[in-house]
Structure formats: structure tokens, C-alpha cells
Amino acid sequence: MIGAQWGDEGKGKITDLLSNSADMVVRYQGGVNAGHTVVVKDQTFKLHLIPSGILYPETECIIGSGTVIDPKVLIQELDQLDRLGVSSKNLMISETAHVTMPYHRILDVAAEASRGDQKIGTTGRGIGPTYADKSERSGIRIVDLMDTESFKVQVRYCVANKNVILEKLYNLPPLDPEEVIVEYLAYADRLRPHVIDSSLKISQAVQKKRNILFEGAQGTLLDLDHGTYPYVTSSNPVSGGACVGAGVGPTIIDRVIGVAKAYTTRVGEGPFPTELDGDIGTLLCDRGAEFGTTTGRQRRCGWFDAVIGRYAVRINGLDCLAITKMDVLDTLDEIKVCVAYEIDGKRCNDFPTNAKAFARCVPIYQTVPGWKTSTEDCRALSDLPKQALDYLKFLAELMAVPIAIVSLGASRDQTIIVEDPIHGPKRALLYENGGLQQ
């Protein structure tokens, strides 16, 4: 399951819903820069690393090797779950996942500040520097954290090198490696019972034909290779990233589910063709509570962009979609959908990979009528106002992919399950000449 926009699509809720049908949920990339909010009855869970499937007592949850783990934040999440009465006994952590260290966070913030007008919009949580060290083969992995003497040697070496950068490049005070060692070895003791060979564990589940849900963080347009570079994350949220980040072969994956809002949002810097600056943008932000789970930053809001939607279908090989936050549009007289771009006077139906060209894109809109009534209590397609159902049909036609789930609020029960993407037959919900068939 992946995000089909710029992240923040509501993947936490959809993962929570699908986890009811899954035996195992695997988070395969990203770090604490991700934020998933799940509302169950009167309880709200804010998760950054732990898969949302943890809320089901029988579901096994794995933080895969493609993730980067900040032990301090992970332990805070474990403590939060404990306070809310949720067991973490089924949480497992890949021993080959990389560890976010204190110098990663400091360097992240310092580098972003030094960019001036060229800011990327990083969360400042150390994700990019952690992945950079991983690529430079100087990173520290969970398995290293578990080996006390080896960890001490690595930390002393790494901190010495990072202190040169902190002091000489950014004029910041150096870190004390011994303080870092004491802090992180305490984390190691707490996390040790959860550490496993995750690829082996997943392989054993495959052999037993168990249902496995691979959960991505961020979204397609934030992918390091296929997103709106350089305004992207440092990993691969696309479906192909699941194989690398979880340690599985592509032949075991038989379905790819995309999550998209009924409109579009983006956090941080970078071009956003359908962005709205006026009253409607404010309305979408207020009604959709568009503030980041991780940083609290206000999200930029705009109309649904079918160009990036089609791109997400193509890049990920999407089989079906979950459309979230339909209820946010309930009060609008009319709704616009971007069906194509205009670039330098020419129509463009496909997402341009040239960053400069994308920055010049002007949306070509098609306007559809709003439904002007609440959809929060709808639990079947037949409950939806005709205009709302027509809107879903239009999106399915534009992206040529069926819609399996419609979310109409933050709570678990505010959902229309047209088709269970895990247990249901493939493509039970079809698009046909722009229409949806049950």
C-alpha cells in the first residue's frame, strides 16, 4: 500500500483498516519523518515508525531493513501504546535497518538552514543524513547497536568525523561520543527483544501463505528517483521500494493499493500546480485538519490532480485506489479537477519529469458540481449523493483504476468498503466508460 500523491494521504487509517485482514504488516522505508494518525472510537494514535497494524493484537508488525530508525522516538511510541493499553509484543525490528544518530538530526537542521532560498522542506529529523551515511557505507545498523563493544568503536569514529563538519562547516559545538554511547546503549537494552532477521521472518510467512501488507511512508511524488526531485524524501516510497526495503522478491507481491485524497496536499517546498491560496484552500485546510502529524506544519492544499494520479498508477502498477477525506468537499458548490497541464502554451497529459518544466505547469481544469450535503454517515456507495458518486466515477475514469475504499472521516468506521483489497476478488469494482460498477 503506497501513497499516490505527496504523502499525507491518510495511509495510517487505510493501513489500520486493511490490517484487520492481514496477518503481517511490514513498514519498508522512511523514518520518523512519516506520521500516521489513526482514530479508533475516542482514542487517537499518532505513529511514526510502528505500523498501524499494531492496534490489532494478532497482527505481526515489522519495521523493515529499508527504514531508518530513531531509537528515542521509537521508544516514545512504545510508551504511548503502553499508556493506551496496546501491546507491542508483536512488534519486530529488522537487524539490518539503519539507526538515526544525534549528529544526523543536527546536520539535517544545519544543512537546511544553510540552503537559504534553495530549501527542500526537510522535517529536520535526520532522515536524509542517515540515508546518506547508509549510501556512503558509514552508517550504524541495529545489529551494530546490539553489539556493545563494536558500537562503541563505531560511534567514536563517526562522531570524530561528524564533529569536524559541525565545527568547521556549521560553527556548531562538537558532540561528546561517550554521552552518545551511554544514551544509545540504554535504547539498545529496551529494543533488544524486538530485533530479528526480518527478511527470514517474512519469507517464512510467505511459505505459510499468510496475508502480508507492505506499508509505505510518504508518497509517490516524494520518491527519491521518481518524485519531484530535489523536493523529495531520501528513500523509495513507490511499490518497487517494498521489495528492497522488506527483503522480498517481486514475484510474491500480487496486489498494489494506492491511497489518494479527494483533493491534493503538499508539505514543504516545491512546485504544486493545483495549489489554492484563497478561501477554498483555507477551507480545505480547516475542514481537513491539514497539519502534519510529525512536524505540525500546515499543509498546502489544492484541487485533485489527475495528472500525478495517472503517474502514480503507472509508476506503482496500482490495482485499486482508496480515496480519503471525501467529506472535506461536502460544503463546496463546485469542485475542480486537474485533467492535464499546459506548459508553454502546449497541452501536457503526462507528468513531466523535468523539474523546470513541472514548475511551469498550469493546470487545465474540468469543473463538476458539488453535493452540498454531509457524507460523514455514508457507509455504502448507495448512501452517497449522486454528485459525490459521480465525482468518484470521474476520478476512476481519469486514472483508469478501480476505487475499492472511500474514507469519509477520521474514525475507523467512517468508511465505505466497496471491496476488501486483500480478501476480495481482484478488480471486483470496475471502471467502465467513466463509471463504477458494484
Q: Catalytic amino acids?
A: 8, 36
Burial of 86 (0-12, 13-18, 19+ CB in 10 A): middle
Contact 220, 38 (CB under 8 A): no
Distance, CA of 20 to CA of 2 (rounded, Å): 18
Distance, CA of 112 to CA of 234 (rounded, Å): 14
Cα-Cα-Cα-Cα dihedral sign, residues 323, 329, 335, 338: negative
Classify residue 357 by its DSSP letter: H
**What are the CA-CA distances from residue 318 to residues 4, 309, 310 (Å)?**
9, 10, 10
Q: How many residues does the chain have?
A: 438
Backbone torsions φ then ψ of 381, nearest 5 degrees: -55, -35
41-46 long-range contacts, Cβ below 8 Å, gap at least 24?
A: 41/411, 41/412, 43/84, 45/80, 45/81, 45/84, 45/86, 46/80, 46/293
Element (H, E) at 342: strand 334-343
Contact 293, 73 (CB under 8 A): no
Backbone torsions φ then ψ of 259, nearest 5 degrees: -120, 130
Q: 3-class SS at 69?
A: strand
Q: 3-class SS at 25?
A: strand
Distance, CA of 159 to CA of 178 (rounded, Å): 10
Residue with cell 485533467: 339
- Given the DSSP bridges, would you call strands 264-266 and 300-302 parallel, antiparallel or unpaired? antiparallel
Distance, CA of 202 to CA of 412 (rounded, Å): 27
Cell of 171: 560553527
Distance, CA of 122 to CA of 187 (rounded, Å): 25
Contact 361, 272 (CB under 8 A): no
Distance, CA of 49 to CA of 65 (rounded, Å): 12
